Amino acid sequence: MDKMWSGRFSKTASSLLDEFNASIMFDRRLYQEDIEGSIAHATMLQKQNILTAEELDSIIKGLKQIQQEIESGEFEWKISDEDLHMGIEKRLTALIGDAGKKLHTARSRNDQVAVDFRRWTLKKNLSIVEAIKKLMSEILVVAEQHTETLIPGMTHLQHAQPINFAFHLSAYLAMFKRDIERFESSYERNNISPLGCAALAGTPHNVDREMTAELLGFGSVSTNCLDTVSDRDFALEILFNISTMMMHISRLSEELVMWSSYEFGFVELSDEYSTGSSIMPQKKNPDVPELLRGKTGRVYGSLMGLLTVMKALPLAYNKDTQEDKEGVFDAVDTAEISLEILKEAIKTMTVKAHNMEKACAIGHLSATDLADYLVEKCAIPFREAHFITGRAVAKGEELGVDLSKIEFKYLKEIDERIDEDVMEYLALRHSMNARTSQGGTATVRTKEQLNYFREFIAKTNPELLV
């Protein structure tokens, strides 16, 4: 009968129940938030004359000792203590006696776990933002060297129009910036203190919720206790934010896998971030981007898992909610290592600009430019221009030459309104640089975009920029 809640029971809990019911083996990750939460709560109780100064003093000393025991590995985490909250409180009482038993006045594990897990998650929203900025800085370094490097821009994975490689990378910078905004807005929205909600209905004790919120760095106090103790939106949001970010990482990874194949040959990943085959001695495999793609699936699973846990819970706290933590811990760990390793893989890869440019010479990438030429210079309606260009493409196919290299006489045969200056328009670099509309690929426009992302990082983290 060693349970804190054993008063109304006459039989001891089975060890099978202990094993099934416990969260201590994973929620111990929240020890720092739990101890800080308890210190804030006790400090408030003392100010409200619910604890004496001596009691507060011994509670703080005890909790600090426990923190030190945990950090040195001496602390004994026991399944029979069920969760970290009870594990720590039990140790506190063993250390300081009766004062330890008063700590839980005006508090429940329901608001306690809501405080701990929410604060842990809030911090992670911010540290992930930092890590995304580091990745973006590395992408910027590569992009800034390739604002003139031609690469086939694709739709349907088919050659479409020539773009430059920096413009392609800049698309990912745009995605990662949106990710940052999502993590930051989740932080703002969820930075609300649950402490003082107690089990579900609040407490008759004269607590000062504003005070504990401030001590714990929360921006405000929650409005409705019934909602607060069972609200896990903050956990769902970080899972969604990580899922979306991993989706972006996975798209880039997919491109890295393709680009590092012989068929593309656009990049070579460094040996440090490639692996070999146990049977085929010649192989160099892109395991890093492949795993990033694969881990994305696992993160989505955690998001779906928690949405499903939450979907039919009656108010307020239900033990189902204990299933909220492992998926979030796993997703956060995955996000952190994924951002770090993708950054390193990008930093150390070799860009094979020559192959990118060579690939642009196949697939009549400047066909749209011929149509645009016919519209602009010959006043031909676009639909007709599209048809004439199709004829020119067919001619190129017949001759086995790309439209950018076709002899002028063949174009003249197709439509005599075409003049020799058309050849300039069909040149691939001209095609890329012609797309000067806002947000377009022209080198001048690409440089504007890179500056925009550079300034975005510089605003908060100039030290990340070289």
- CB 6 → ligand ARG: shortest distance, Å? 14
Strand partners, 158: 155
Instruction: Look at strands 192-193 and 220-221 and give their pairing.
Output: parallel
Q: For residues 241 and 322, which CB has a smaller minimum distance to ligand ARG in the complex?
A: 322
Tokens read off for 394:
């067919």
For the chain, the residue count is 466
Tell me how far apart the alpha carbons of residues 150 and 141 are, in angstroms, rounded to a whole number: 17
Tell me how far apart the alpha carbons of residues 432 and 148 are, in angstroms, rounded to a whole number: 9
- CB 325 → ligand ARG: shortest distance, Å? 6
Report helix, strand or coil for 162: strand
Q: For residues 85 and 146, which CB has a smaller minimum distance to ligand ARG in the complex?
A: 85
Q: For residues 121 and 404, which CB has a smaller minimum distance to ligand ARG in the complex?
A: 121
- CB 41 → ligand ARG: shortest distance, Å? 15
Task: Scan for tokens 């349970």, then name that residue.
Answer: 3
Q: List Cβ neighbours of 464 (8 Å cut-off, separation of 6 or more).
A: 133, 134, 137, 457
Is 120 a binder of ligand ARG (CB under 6 A)?
no
**CA–CA distances in Å: residue 391 to residues 263, 385, 427:** 29, 10, 18
- CB 214 → ligand ARG: shortest distance, Å? 24
Question: If binding means CB under 6 A, how many residues of this protein chain bind ligand ARG?
Answer: 10
Q: For residues 3 and 391, which CB has a smaller minimum distance to ligand ARG in the complex?
A: 3
Q: For residues 8 and 156, which CB has a smaller minimum distance to ligand ARG in the complex?
A: 8
> Helix axis angle, 84-96 relative to 31-47, nearest 10°?
60
Applying CB under 6 A, among 190, 260, 322, 441 the residue interacting with ligand ARG is: 322
Catalytic residue selected from 6, 14, 15, 277: 277
Q: What percent helix, strand, coil does the chain show, rounded to 5? A: 65, 5, 30
Tell me how far apart the alpha carbons of residues 401 and 390 are, in angstroms, rounded to a whole number: 14
Applying CB under 6 A, among 36, 83, 231, 402 the residue interacting with ligand ARG is: 83
Applying CB under 6 A, among 317, 329, 373, 453 the residue interacting with ligand ARG is: 317
Tell me how far apart the alpha carbons of residues 421 and 408 are, in angstroms, rounded to a whole number: 9
- CB 337 → ligand ARG: shortest distance, Å? 25
- CB 28 → ligand ARG: shortest distance, Å? 11
Q: Is 248 a catalytic residue?
A: no
Tell me how far apart the alpha carbons of residues 452 and 466 are, in angstroms, rounded to a whole number: 15
Which residues, numbered 168-187, are part of the site for ligand ARG (CB under 6 A)? none
What is the x/- site pattern for ligand ARG, positions 97-116, by CB under 6 A? ------------xx--x---
* Angular region, 206: left φ>0, alpha ψ -120 to 50, beta rest: beta
Q: For residues 17 and 171, which CB has a smaller minimum distance to ligand ARG in the complex?
A: 17
* Single-letter residue type at 273: Y
Q: Is 277 a catalytic residue?
A: yes
Could you tell me which stretch among 38-46, 164-172, 203-211, 313-321 binds ligand ARG (CB under 6 A)? 313-321
Establish whether the linkage from the previous residue to 316 is cis, with ω within 30° of 0.
yes
DSSP annotation of 110 reads H
Q: For residues 151 and 225, which CB has a smaller minimum distance to ligand ARG in the complex?
A: 225
Tell me how far apart the alpha carbons of residues 359 and 211 are, in angstroms, rounded to a whole number: 64
DSSP annotation of 427 reads S
Which residues, numbered 6-45, are part of the site for ligand ARG (CB under 6 A)? 23, 27
Which residues, numbered 383-412, are part of the site for ligand ARG (CB under 6 A)? none
Tell me how far apart the alpha carbons of residues 177 and 79 are, in angstroms, rounded to a whole number: 42
Tokens read off for 136:
């973006």
Catalytic residue selected from 156, 168, 261, 386: 156
- CB 243 → ligand ARG: shortest distance, Å? 22
Q: For residues 114 and 249, which CB has a smaller minimum distance to ligand ARG in the complex?
A: 114
- CB 112 → ligand ARG: shortest distance, Å? 7
Instruction: Look at strands 150-155 and 158-164 and give their pairing.
Output: antiparallel
Enumerate binding residues for ligand ARG (CB under 6 A): 23, 27, 83, 109-110, 113, 317, 319, 321-322
**Residues with catalytic function:** 156, 277
